A and B are shown apart, each in its own frame.
Chain A
Amino acid sequence: MAKMIINGHEIEAKAGATVLEEARKLNIDIPTLCYHKDLSSFGACRLCTVEVKIKGKWQLAASCQTEAAAGMEVRTDTDNVRESRKLAASLLYFRYPQTAVVRDMAAKLGVDVQAAADSRDCILCGLCTRTCHEIVGVDALKFKDRGLARDVEEPKIEFTPSTCIGCGSCAFVCPTGFVRMEAGDGKRIIWDKVFKMASCSACGRYFAPVEQLEFISRTTGVPVSQLMTCVSCR
């Protein structure tokens, strides 16, 4: 436990908790687009910015990446914080003017948002790559790295079909609808890869991609034959 101050309230922060988590416990609204409580923090959207007092000087900090510490002083609602969030939101809006989640966020943070057709862009929040690595453990999604002497025009997420098991977690976690999952005819299509669905040995309903069941079998040692029954029939 660490005693700290957020917006004048003295609180007891949990060991290892982030400033974002502690602030939300106080029902302080902190906007985020790349944060998920079950994933490691990524610090990409720059919307959760707060001010932290460091050596007597207020400094901007990404609250999702800043661990709560004893004696820390935090402000979440100053002009500086608001302007900083608004700038980040306006830049996201500049890049993705048709993506609903970005438009809503920008409008909320005071950016002048114009009417536009709907589009579902990848905003590089990294929720899918982290889910694929940390939760699913297959690493089918990775950032394509740009940088020195690497000739990559635009940043994007790379998909490796050979390791994808079609679990659909990325589609579930994607905030913009960029990752699409389509189903039908005993098939599931995700990131343009077609998966054969397994049908339940009891009720016959298609319930999971065969590759996902094979993956579960490999990692748990349970034979695939024992995994061929859906959750409702088990």
Chain B
Amino acid sequence: MNTVAFSSWNGKIVDNRTSGNGAGKTKKPAEGSCPVSLDGRSYDALMGWNGLVVVDPKTDVVALTLAYIEEARKLSCGECSVCMIGIDRVRDILQGLSAGKGSSQDITEIEDIVKGVMANSKCNFGRASALTPVLDSVKYFQDSFLEAGKTATAKKGAEKNFQSAVTAPCMKACPATLDIPGYIELIRNNKFKESLELVRERCILPGVIGRACTHPCESACVRKDMDGSLAIRLLKRAAADQDLQGGSALSVPKEEKKEKIAVIGAGPAGLAAAYHLRLLGYGVTIFEALPKGGGMAAVGIPDYRLPKDILNHEIDLIKRMGVDIRYSSKVDALNAADFQKQGYAAVFTAIGAHVGTKIGCKGEEIASDDVVQGADFLWGLSLGKKTKPVDRVVIIGGGNVALDCARNCLRLGFKSVEIVYRRSRVEMPGSKEEIEEALHEGVKLTYLTAPVGIVRKAGKVAAIECIKMKLGEPDESGRKRPIPVKGSEFSLKTDMVIAATGQKPDLGLLTGKDKGTLTTAWGTIKVDPVSYSTATARIFAGGDCVSGPATLIEALNMGNKAAKSIDSYLQGKTFVDELSFEGIDVDRQRDMGFVPPAKSEEVKFLDVAERLKGFAEVEGGFNADAAMKEAQRCLRCYRLMVWQ
């Protein structure tokens, strides 16, 4: 976009028109001052929470404004006096103008209503989005509105092809784009069942995600810098927990389709894809290598963070809607032709990333019980493998796997548990809560230290040689690069070493030419980033085996998307993803107004002494009343955008 005819984005007026109010005041918009494109697609004009942007000067702004108001009306909850009634009143006036029955008095009234709605709405949709851009359109395109009756633009408006999309700061931050204000509002109104149904549309493991999610949504919450973010994750958990008492079933397919689909792996990605494909009416078979389902949620996340009955219940619900899960059924060769012969129209590969990567230090190559991979350690523990505690264990790594290993070791009775990480605490990829809880429970964290070699005495691990590190310039990951400090080597006594520095997928199932064409330089499966299809027809892939080790919700989202993409493929349609709002600042709004402070509801955590006795769940949840109270804090920051 070189230039726009008009923009009021972020309240900054750019007007390159040759006539109209404020014409010719400013030239060309500054770079980044308004949305340049919508996921790479150009547009003629758009209206959004932060303003109006007109690229094509021939755009019918009156029709666009009416279309925006129609969409805004759908989003307004209608519970406070000003927002929805204000929208209706403005719509009435605009329709009157379009019918040729209006005057400049009407423009003044619209301005008064819009300002009143922005200043006095109960929620942030009313304050930020409901009518805000309408103020700009009636102000800067007043002539078009006053003359609208002559051109009968309202009638034409209905025929115009407008598109719309909705986001919110929390929704954009959520990898699976859950309708967070929506499900919170349902909890606020004491509708836990409906709330859970809404969550399940994009997150089929609500109890799991409600416990183990890294919740980027909460970092984006508008309340974060006021009186603290909403406890979004715990609200989702509350909806799931309430349901455990009632016990709902998942929706059944409306119609059965003739095609069958194979899913490899019953982790979050595989389960999500299976659920959505089944709901669309396909027959779905999941082949799972392990004797149980859940992937990393089952063999990665420890019981004290996620009791396994929660996970198993949610997998059971998916099974009960007719998904056939075959456990202990490892697929050794991913051969498209073989699957087709067995009657599967498509294959979704979601095998995860379970192979630990080497730490890269001397002595690591010798196989022994006292030098183990973090992933294998957690895996063994969750499959019932007995682990005898030793006095001292050193865990290498700074992610959640390292933290999970450490906290498990404490519970197993290891006396001294130390995590060694090569960067500092700020750069640790593990979640903040996990780090805090680990320290609270007695895990020792040693920063800016890297392993150099494992020292054995009589075949047993005796120590780990380490070197001190310092931080240099940021690397390609954006984190500061650790640099060894010469001559700072030291020895750390230990009886066991757990390596938790990373994981990659086991791509042994790729055969023939697929080995080359389906593998990336990082040892993951190569897919189209939108459709999750691979270079081999009928083979799709998603989850950690595509992204490398990521979060449960990211894997789950890939399963959601892949299911829709597979459906489009089988129905001969082109898969089009929803608008991502990428490159558009959804946090910014013109004026926040005053938000009465309201303290977040608190949950109880198990005492450390109790925790270390076993694997009981550490974090308590909200009961129904606490959840409803917390839900009342949601500002409902929906952002609407309508474009042409």
- Cβ contact of B85, chosen from A47, A60, A94, A149, cutoff 8 A: A94
Closest CB in chain B relative to A56 CB, distance in Å: 13
Q: Which residues of A contact B179 (CB under 8 A)?
A: 147-149
Which residues of A28-64 are within 8 A (CB) of B? 43-47, 49, 52, 54, 59-62
Q: Which residues of A contact B81 (CB under 8 A)?
A: 44-47, 88, 91-92
Q: Is A150 an interface residue (CB 8 A)?
A: yes
| Bound CA span A140–B194, Å | 15
Q: Can you list, as one digit per residue, whether each of B72-85 has a CB less than 8 Å from chain A (1) or not (0)?
A: 00111111111011
Q: Is A199 an interface residue (CB 8 A)?
A: no
Tell whether A91 pairs with B113 under 8 Å between CB atoms, given A143-B189, A147-B185.
yes
* Contact between chains at B85 and A91 (CB < 8 Å): yes
Tell whether A139 pairs with B85 under 8 Å between CB atoms, given A60-B593, A67-B597, A126-B79.
no
| Bound CA span A143–B194, Å | 12
Q: Is A216 an interface residue (CB 8 A)?
A: no
The winner among A91, A129, A143, A146 for most chain B CB atoms within 10 A is A91
Closest CB in chain A relative to B71 CB, distance in Å: 10
| Bound CA span A72–B121, Å | 22
Tell whether A43 pairs with B120 under 8 Å between CB atoms, given A91-B86, A126-B79, A133-B190.
no
| Bound CA span A124–B122, Å | 14
Q: Is A71 an interface residue (CB 8 A)?
A: no
Q: Can you list, as one digit per residue, whether each of B581-610 has a CB less than 8 Å from chain A (1) or not (0)?
A: 000000000000110111000000000000
Q: Is A95 an interface residue (CB 8 A)?
A: yes
Q: Is A182 an interface residue (CB 8 A)?
A: no
Closest CB in chain B relative to A196 CB, distance in Å: 27
Closest CB in chain A relative to B324 CB, distance in Å: 30
Q: Is B442 an interface residue (CB 8 A)?
A: no
* Contact between chains at A94 and B89 (CB < 8 Å): yes
* Contact between chains at A146 and B78 (CB < 8 Å): yes
Question: Number of B residues contacting the other chain (C-beta, 8 Å)?
Answer: 37
* Contact between chains at A87 and B112 (CB < 8 Å): yes
| Bound CA span A142–B193, Å | 13
Q: Which residues of B contact A52 (CB under 8 A)?
A: 594
In the complex formed, the residue of A with least CB distance to B640 is A148
- Cβ contact of B190, chosen from A46, A139, A150, cutoff 8 A: A139
Q: Is A145 an interface residue (CB 8 A)?
A: yes
Tell whether A91 pairs with B89 under 8 Å between CB atoms, given A65-B596, A150-B182.
yes
* Contact between chains at A62 and B596 (CB < 8 Å): yes
| Bound CA span A36–B166, Å | 35
* Contact between chains at A67 and B76 (CB < 8 Å): no
Closest CB in chain A relative to B182 CB, distance in Å: 5
Q: Can you list, as one digit per residue, whether each of A127-151 has a CB less than 8 Å from chain B (1) or not (0)?
A: 0010001000001001101111110
Q: Is B358 an interface residue (CB 8 A)?
A: no
* Contact between chains at B190 and A155 (CB < 8 Å): no
Which residues of B154-204 are within 8 A (CB) of A? 166, 179, 181-182, 185-186, 189-191, 194
Q: Which residues of A contact B186 (CB under 8 A)?
A: 145
Which residues of A47-103 are within 8 A (CB) of B? 47, 49, 52, 54, 59-62, 65-67, 69, 83-84, 87-88, 91-92, 94-95
- Cβ contact of B120, chosen from A84, A95, A145, cutoff 8 A: A84
Closest CB in chain A relative to B129 CB, distance in Å: 12
Q: Which residues of A contact B216 (CB under 8 A)?
A: none
Closest CB in chain A relative to B110 CB, distance in Å: 12
* Contact between chains at B77 and A155 (CB < 8 Å): yes
Closest CB in chain A relative to B194 CB, distance in Å: 7
Q: Which residues of B contact A61 (CB under 8 A)?
A: 594, 596
Q: Which residues of A contact B (CB under 8 A)?
A: 43-47, 49, 52, 54, 59-62, 65-67, 69, 83-84, 87-88, 91-92, 94-95, 124, 126, 129, 133, 139, 142-143, 145-150, 154-155
* A-B contacts, 6 listed (Cβ < 8 Å): A62-B122, A67-B597, A91-B82, A94-B85, A126-B79, A148-B638
5 further A-B pairs in the complex, CB-CB below 8 A; given A124-B79, A142-B190, A146-B78: A45-B80, A60-B594, A146-B75, A148-B182, A155-B79
In order of increasing CB-CB distance, the 6 nearest A-B pairs are A155-B78, A59-B594, A87-B116, A91-B85, A66-B596, A65-B596
